[in-house]
């Protein structure tokens, strides 16, 4: 079993030092991994901000373009070949979009209303 900070979890060319720099700059850095046959692809991403999601929504109904915009905005490092294989790229796009959680808020009764 790989350790949490195992370098083999990092995209090609990313060192532990580079990872530390990315964490310092972006806070949490999320690894995304996709296996296609015997090839493993890895990437590092920051969590999408509301502004990223808003920009993607402005593209209308083109979900692929919207997803790719969020992917490009949040991408910190990816293995070579990720963007050369449409199926792998789509898997990464879906993964990045999963990082933005939509939470539910509880709405109470209004204050100042006579009952």
Give the DSSP letter string of 11-49: PTT--HHHHHHHHHHHSSEEEEEEEETTEEEEEEEEPPP
Mean pLDDT of 13-24: 96
Helix (H, G, I), strand (E, B) or coil at 83: helix
Q: Are residues 71 and 93 in contact, defined by beta-carbon separation less than 8 angstroms?
A: yes
Decide if 3 is inside a domain. Answer: no
Question: How many structural domains comprise the chain?
Answer: 1
Decide if 4 is inside a domain. Answer: no
Tell me the residue range of the domain where 49 lies: 9-98
Decide if 106 is inside a domain. Answer: no
Closest by Cα among 45, 13, 44, 34 to 87:
34
Decide if 91 is inside a domain. Answer: yes
Q: Tell me: the pLDDT tens digits for 59-115?
A: 989 999 999 999 999 999 999 999 999 999 999 999 999 999 888 999 999 998 775
Decide if 104 is inside a domain. Answer: no
pTM: 0.83
Q: Are residues 75 and 69 in contact, defined by beta-carbon separation less than 8 angstroms?
A: no
What contacts 34, CB < 8 A, 6 or more positions away? 40, 41, 82, 88, 91, 92, 95
Distance from C-alpha of 108 to C-alpha of 62, rounded to nearest angstrom: 36
The domain spanning residue 73 has which CATH number?
A: 3.30.2220.10
């Amino acid at each position: 079993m790989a350790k949490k900070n195992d370098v083999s979890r990092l995209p090609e060319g990313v060192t532990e030092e580079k990872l530390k720099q990315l964490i310092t700059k972006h806070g949490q850095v999320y690894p995304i991994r996709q296996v296609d046959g015997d090839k493993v692809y890895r990437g590092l991403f920051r969590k999408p901000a509301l502004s990223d999601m808003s920009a993607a929504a402005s593209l209308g109904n083109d979900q692929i373009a919207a997803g790719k915009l969020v992917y490009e905005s949040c991408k910190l490092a990816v293995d070579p070949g990720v963007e050369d294989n449409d199926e792998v790229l789509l898997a990464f796009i879906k993964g990045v979009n999963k990082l933005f959680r939509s939470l539910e808020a509880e709405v109470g009764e209004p204050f100042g209303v006579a009952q």
